[in-house]
Amino acid sequence: MSGPGQRFPGFDVLSQSGNWDPVTARVVLARVGPAGDLRFFTPAEGQAAAALLDRLLGQADGPGVPLVGLVDARLSEGRTDGWRYDDMPEDGRAWRDSLSFLDADALAGVGLGFAACPAADQEALIQAIRDLGPADWHGMAAGHIWSLWTRYACTAFYSHPSAWNEIGFPGPAYPRGYKNAGVDRREPFEVRDARPSDDPVPEGA
């Protein structure tokens, strides 16, 4: 399986940022800057959240997207989706509660807080919740908390130029737009996939 950066060698979204409109550039480049202090999570919650988010996105080998900072900023500024399942509290409360439940699971199973657990144990704890599907987890449907975690985690990770580099996506496209749409057509600034047969799950697997 390919490692980070190997599919689109040399592709660098930020090298094109001079072509972005200034409003978009300001929003995107703010994600690349240094992460500020946490404003929503307590330090302990922040450690658990960082560990959880890094596991959900497989960040052990990079690229080091500051996931907890991005999620914390959303929650502290109230940029939630608004809706909630009726068995769940609003998003901020659901994050706090679920992190404490995750710590409780870790203490019961491993004898350590979640953030302090070895990676393999963290992954096993997460997979156990995933495997519950719609069943109950500490008073809420496990599937609902899984939905909350993965929505926030994926939104944060795939909003970051480092993530776009590894998937070959050029990011903002205004005012330049695209001139070469169509199968196997590229713009001069796009990079061909170096391993086009690298299907994550080959046919018949």
Partner 1 sequence: MGGVRARNESAWLLPNDGTRTHHALRENMRTFADGDEVDVVIVGCGAGGATLLQRLARAGLRVVALDAGPFWDPDRDWVSDEAGSHHLYWTEPRVITGDDPVPLGSNNSGRGVGGSMVHYAGFTPRFHPSDFRTRILDGVGADWPIRYCDLRPYYRDLEEELPVAGERWPWGDPHGYPHRPHPVGGNGEVFLRGARKLGITAKVGPVAIANGRFGNRPHCIYRGFCLQGCKVNAKASPLITHIPDALARGAEVRADSMVTSIEVDQRTGRAKGVRYVRDGRPHFQRAAMVAVAGYSIETPRLLLNSASSRFPDGLCNDFDQVGRYLMVQGAPQTAGRFDAEVRMYKAPPPEVSSEEFYETDPAKPYKRGFSLQTVSPLPITWAEHVAAQGHWGRVLRDYMRDYVHWSCLGALCEFLPQPGNRVTLAQETDGYGLPVARFSYSQCDNDRLLMRAAQAVMENLLRAAGAGEVITIDRYAHLVGGARMAADERHGVVDADCRTFAVPNLYITDGSVLPTQGSANPALTIMAVAARAADHMAGGAR
Q: Would you tell me which residues interact with partner 1 (CB under 8 A)?
A: 1-2, 7, 20-21, 23-24, 27-28, 55-58, 79-86, 90, 123, 126, 130, 150-151, 154-159, 163-164, 166-169, 171-186, 190, 192-193, 196-203
Could you tell me the smallest distance in angstroms from the CB atom of residue 32 to partner 1?
13
Our measurement of the distance from residue 23's CA atom to the centroid of its chain's CA atoms, rounded to an integer in Å, reads: 23
**How many angstroms separate the Cα of 80 from the Cα of each of 25, 31, 91, 107?**
23, 18, 7, 30
C-beta of 44 vs 190, nearer to partner 1: 190
Shortest approach of partner 1 to residue 24 CB, angstroms? 4
Q: Which is nearer to partner 1, 42 or 180 (CB)?
A: 180
**Minimal distance in Å, beta carbon 61 to partner 1?**
9
Residue nearer to partner 1 on the CB measure, 42 or 73: 73
Residue 117 or residue 156: which is nearer to partner 1 going by CB?
Answer: 156
Extract the tokens encoding 144: 């609902």
Q: How many CA atoms lie within 13 A of 184 on its CB side?
A: 2
CB of 97 to partner 1, least distance (A): 17
- In degrees, to the nearest 5, what angle opens at C-alpha 153 toward C-alphas 148 and 155? 100
44 or 90: whose CB is closer to partner 1?
A: 90
Are 56 and 151 contacting, i.e. CB atoms less than 8 angstroms apart? no
Please name which of 75, 66, 68, 31 lies closest in space to residue 49, comparing C-alpha atoms: 68
Q: How many residues does the chain have?
A: 205
Instruction: Name the nearest CA neighbour of 2 among 158, 196, 171.
Output: 196
